[in-house]
Structure 1
Amino acid sequence: MSTTALKLNAPRIEAALIDLDGTMVDTADDFAAGLNGMLAQLDAEETTREEVMDYVGKGSEHLIRSVLAPRFAADDAQSRFDEALALYQDEYAKINGRHTHLYPEVEAGLAAMRGAGIKLACVTNKPYRFAVELLQQYGLAHYFEVVIGGDSLPKKKPDPLPMLTACERLGVKPEATVAIGDSENDAIAGRAAGMATLTVPYGYNHGQPVQKIQSDGIVATLLDAAKALVAHNDLT
């Protein structure tokens, strides 16, 4: 299916809420490096990019619990969680962005959306300060009117609260908004908020095939997403 001929069950799209890790930036190697810095201090076995990719997308707490689970007995993993999380955040702060790269056509896609009058928010489960730092490193921060991190609100994706809050801050209705991401969390949150959803085929998606995600369509890149949205708006 052509990404420029998607049939979105939505009125004119006024805003796009875009995920960060796995959608705009490949950060799996940063996660692995930060986790390995933490695990070394806990005298635990190192992790790998491949293991980490299965855990990304549900926030730092989930990431830490998932990495500790196969390395410690359940009670020990629970008792070490707070220490592990603090160590991880310290380690990640040292290397945020060091081992990352932008996915193809990310900036071109963001520029095309903004050029078409579409408002943008970055909605991620990554801690807010790390998300802002990463967007600034890659010169993407100016495209976004709103950034919501995993610690910005009481709930994170797949709960719809971050999506609804982003819409409120952008001054748009959910039904005039699209959520774009690489994982089921993005689509679930978007659907629950009453907005259209698009999925990119790269990224992480908790180790599951992207084709299993229930969204309004798969777009090869953010530039293709922009083209699809412009085409949709031209018809409405």
Structure 2
Amino acid sequence: MKLTFAGGAAQAVLFDLDGTLLDTADDIALALNRTLGEQSLKGLDVAQVRLFIGRGVPTLIQRALRWLGQSASTADASRLLERFHFHYHDLAKRGDIRTRVYPGVSSGLAALKEMPLGIAVVTNKPRAAALELLEHFQLDRWIDTLVGGDSGLAQKPHPDPLLHACGQLRATPARTLMVGDSMTDVLAARGAGMQVVCVPYGYNEGSDPRQLPCDGLIENVAALPGLLADDAPVPARVVPS
């Protein structure tokens, strides 16, 4: 088996960021806990924060507050969001980034760029924060388009940011592949009329990514170019017993 696309070969590949290209949980947890600490609230461990990642920072903060038995008014939530972004940016400014690139990402992106394909990152993270990380790890040299969560479009799992990326890359959705780690990515891809493959690591809000109803699983991004080659087999999706 292989991935085939209606109308010809693949034109573009879209990537999620957090949990797919980068493991950002440590930095997200640190920024969140500094924000909570300013409100005299106790921090959360990284394992718990991982369960809250995937629907954007406002949802992350709301989930953390609910976990702590707290609630926030609209004004409070806005202030917490502002402080989170301050602390998150401050980590980068101080060179205290604990985020890491997942194995296979750099080599996989480089190989995809040689095919050639349009490459985009579509994330619910604010664009400036996402770009800062891509530049820090020198991944931006392979990225043609970046769509952030503050683009003015609905965020994933809505398909609009994926369709916007296709427009930027002049690719048709039917000939575009989404790569992610969560149901959020799968739903966005399905809504956009795209095929989607998933990595078996990442966050997925605490659920095993191997259970996702995607078109295939890849061990890491380095396996993706082979999946798109003419003679490439599609890895069977693991169905839990």
Shift of 1:231: 3.6
Tell me the secondary structure at the aligned position of residue 117 of structure 1. Answer: coil
In structure 2, C-alpha distance between the alignment counterparts of 1:133 and 1:8, rounded to whole Å: 34
The 8 Å contact of residues 12 and 232 in structure 1, kept in 2 or not, is answered as no
Structure 2: give runs of 5+ residues left out of the alignment.
234-241
1:70-109 aligned within 5 A: 70-74=67-71, 76=72, 80-96=76-92, 98-109=97-108
1:22-37 aligned within 5 A: 22-37=19-34
Structure 1: give runs of 5+ residues left out of the alignment.
none
| Alignment-derived partner of residue 209 in structure 1 | 208
Shift of 1:144: 1.0
What one-letter code is carried by the residue in structure 1 that aligns with 2:52?
Y
The 8 Å contact of residues 183 and 206 in structure 1, kept in 2 or not, is answered as yes
1:132-147 aligned within 5 A: 132-147=131-146
| Alignment-derived partner of residue 115 in structure 1 | 114
Tell me the secondary structure at the aligned position of residue 198 of structure 1. Answer: strand
What one-letter code is carried by the residue in structure 2 that aligns with 1:26?
D
What one-letter code is carried by the residue in structure 2 that aligns with 1:192?
G
The 8 Å contact of residues 124 and 149 in structure 2, kept in 1 or not, is answered as yes
Tell me the secondary structure at the aligned position of residue 82 of structure 2. Answer: helix
The 8 Å contact of residues 3 and 228 in structure 2, kept in 1 or not, is answered as no
- Asked if 1:17 is matched to 2:10, the reply is no
In structure 2, C-alpha distance between the alignment counterparts of 1:8 and 1:68, rounded to whole Å: 44
Q: Which aligned segments of 4 or more residues in structure 1 are displaced greater than 6 angstroms? A: none
CA gap of 1:6–1:77, structure 2 versus 1, over 3 A, is farther
CA RMSD of aligned residues (A): 1.8
Q: What is the identity percentage for the equivalent residue pairs of Structure 1 and Structure 2?
A: 34
**TM-score (norm: length of structure 1):** 0.92
CA gap of 1:88–1:116, structure 2 versus 1, over 3 A, is same
Query: Relative to total residues, which structure has the larger helix share, 1 or 2?
Result: 1
Shift of 1:72: 4.1
